[in-house]
Amino acid sequence: MLGHVDHGKTSITQCLTGKWTDTHSEEIKRGISIRIGYADVVLKKCPKCLEPGCYTREEKCPKCGSKAEPLRTISILDAPGHETLMTTAIAASSIMDGALLVIAANEECPQPQTLEHLTVLEVLGVKNIVVVQNKVDLVPREKALENYNQIKKFLKGSVAENAPIIPFVANKCANVDALMEAIHKHMPTPQRKLDASPKMYVARSFDINKPGTEISKLSGGVIGGSLIEGVLKIGDEVELRPGIMVGEKGKEEKARPLKVIVERLFAGNEKLTEAHPGGLIAVGTSLDPSITKSDRIVGNLLGKPGDMPPVSNELNLEFHFLKRVDLENAALKPKEPLVLSIGTATAIGFVEGMKKNVVRLMLKRPICVMIGSKLAVSRRINSRWRLSGYGTVK
């Protein structure tokens, strides 16, 4: 769920899933998404209503009252729209199979984050896109049509040029059945590598224990994310890389990978014995919960010991500048700091050398990244970090 700040992403997520994903105290106070929110929903369709039919998440069809039949389960990531939180949105993009791009009808199109989020989708190769034209109730019909034409012009020549555009009213969940239909028809479930060794980006991590819980009753730390490939089972021994940083404060710290046992698996509130790629899962581990509290190990890669990429302090990156009308990209400078968004990790790298379009970067902290991974690059321009380029890890 991508789009400019305050265009209604969290409200639309609630219409689709019934869950309000802004739960952090600072999110509630400021009225914006800061961390990645997520929610699951089972898309259902009435077997009796004629085509296009009635799509719903309820047990019974809202039109005729017949029992609705389940089609598929989807997980929705609600990414922050504010420009200062773009790296969180980019992290969400790395585990997406499709995207809902939200554009408000009562503002000019494109807004800054609308442009940047579409750029992220193109960089990361996300092609299954549905555009949601929200807040059509706030403007006259003529203004809504004018905004629709602005959206079509904005999308022309992009990866979303032929994406369906669904008018929507998030406050009333009006047209939610049409949106569900568009998701089902335009976002097919991709083929997964089930026979590969499991790999999972860690997008969230938690301590689920309530204050005052007795030591004997403490549950291990929980990590959340999405399997890229393979199957994860209860009892599996897995490794988190780069793990945690150890060493004396003020001196060079080193990464220490963590080996843990998978003790519990959940998809939403449903307990699992094994987890497959696609959708979001929560993994209960044997980790001390103090390690996983407050998203402390977000950005780690989970996999089987002995079958993980190395932890590295440097990267060779095949780099490309983004062509942006609102940004003039100068050549990279030696020692220039760059913010790298890789999988669900955010890292700071310094330019050490450049040969043709391959850049060598020294990282402030080590990361674990797979060869061939795509990443987004932000530069500091006029005292702000701006999305400026993308690259492939060589």
- Best CA proximity match to 87, nearest among 109, 111, 113, 110: 113
Q: What is the pLDDT of residue 257?
A: 93
Distance from C-alpha of 293 to C-alpha of 241, rounded to nearest angstrom: 17
Q: Which helix or strand (DSSP H or E) is residue 49 part of?
A: none
Q: Which DSSP letter does residue 327 get?
A: -
Reported for 319-322, long-range contacts at CB under 8 A and 24+ positions apart, including other chains, are: 319/354, 319/357, 319/358, 319/359, 319/377, 319/389, 319/390, 319/391, 320/357, 320/389, 320/390, 320/391, 321/388, 321/389, 322/119, 322/123, 322/387, 322/388, 322/389, 322/390
pTM for the full predicted model? 0.76
- CA pair distance 120, 140, nearest whole angstrom: 32
Question: What DSSP line would sit under 194-257, residue for residue?
Answer: TTSPPEEEEEEEE--PPTT--GGGPPPPEEEEEEEES-EETT-EEEEEEEEEES-TTS--EEEE
Q: What pLDDT does residue 369 have?
A: 87
Q: What per-residue confidence (pLDDT) applies to 71? A: 92
Q: What is the pLDDT of residues 89-116, one digit of tens each?
A: 565 566 678 999 999 999 999 988 888 8
The values of phi and psi at residue 179, to 5°, are: -70, -40
Q: How far apart are CA 230 and CA 195, in angstroms?
A: 6
d(CA 73, CA 151): 29
pLDDT tens-digit profile of 142-192? Answer: 999 999 999 999 999 999 999 999 999 999 999 999 999 999 999 988 888
Instruction: Take residue 65 and report the two structure tokens written for it.
Output: 């009252």
Degrees to nearest 5, angle at CA 177 with 175 and 183? 110
Given this model, what pLDDT does residue 73 score?
Answer: 86
Find out whether 221 and 258 touch, Cβ atoms under 8 Å: no
Judge whether 390 and 322 are in contact, CB under 8 Å: yes
pLDDT of amino acid 4:
87
Contact present, 254 and 263 (Cβ < 8 Å)? no
What is the 3-state composition of the chain as percent helix, strand, coil, each rounded to the nearest 5?
Answer: 20, 40, 40
Residue 348, amino acid = I
Strand 237-246 versus strand 301-303 pairing type: antiparallel
Mean pLDDT per block of 10 residues along the chain (394 residues) reads 87 89 47 59 88 85 89 82 56 74 95 84 86 97 97 95 96 94 91 87 90 91 90 95 81 84 89 88 93 91 92 92 76 92 87 92 91 86 82 88
Q: Helix or strand or coil: residue 71?
A: strand
The token pair at 148 is 């629709």
The burial of 147, by beta-carbon neighbours within 10 Å (0-12 exposed, 13-18 middle, 19 or more buried), is given as: buried
Length of the chain counted residue by residue:
394
Secondary structure of residue 2 in the 3-state scheme: strand
Q: What is the pLDDT of residue 24?
A: 46
Instruction: Give residue 82's pLDDT.
Output: 54
Do 376 and 124 meet the contact criterion of CB atoms below 8 Å apart?
yes
CB 195 within 8 A of CB 222: no
Chain-centroid distance of CA 176 in Å reads 22
pLDDT, position 21: 63
Give the relative orientation of helices 112-123 and 141-155 as an angle to the nearest 10 degrees: 40
